[in-house]
Amino acid sequence: MPKMKTHSGAKKRFKLTAKGKIKRFSSKLNHIMAKQSPKSKRQLGKASLISKADTPRIKRLLAS
């Protein structure tokens, strides 16, 4: 059987932390930013972790 390939889209969007959790960045930060408050723009710039329910699915995409 051939090796499973890493999903290129997932590879660009997610990073693994040292403890095996998955880090992601928020969406909605590209255009039409004038409507958003400075606080919301600042919060969107920070990284957050994927929920426990989504972790196995995304780890399978990242498995090389």
Q: What is the CATH number of the domain that holds 19?
A: 4.10.410.60
When divided into structural domains, the chain yields a total of 1
- Concatenated DSSP letters of the chain: -PPPPPPHHHHHHEEE-TTS-EEEE-S--SS--TTS-HHHHHHHTSEEEPPTTTHHHHHHHH--
Within-domain flag for 35:
no
Banded model confidence at residue 4, pLDDT cuts 50, 70, 90: confident
pTM given for the model: 0.77
Does 7 have pLDDT greater than 80?
yes
Within-domain flag for 31:
no
The string of pLDDT tens digits covering residues 28-53 is 999 999 999 999 999 999 999 999 99
Within-domain flag for 32:
no
- For residue 50, give its domain range: 1-26+41-64
Within-domain flag for 58:
yes
**Strands ordered across the beta sheet of 22-25:** 14-16, 22-25, 47-49
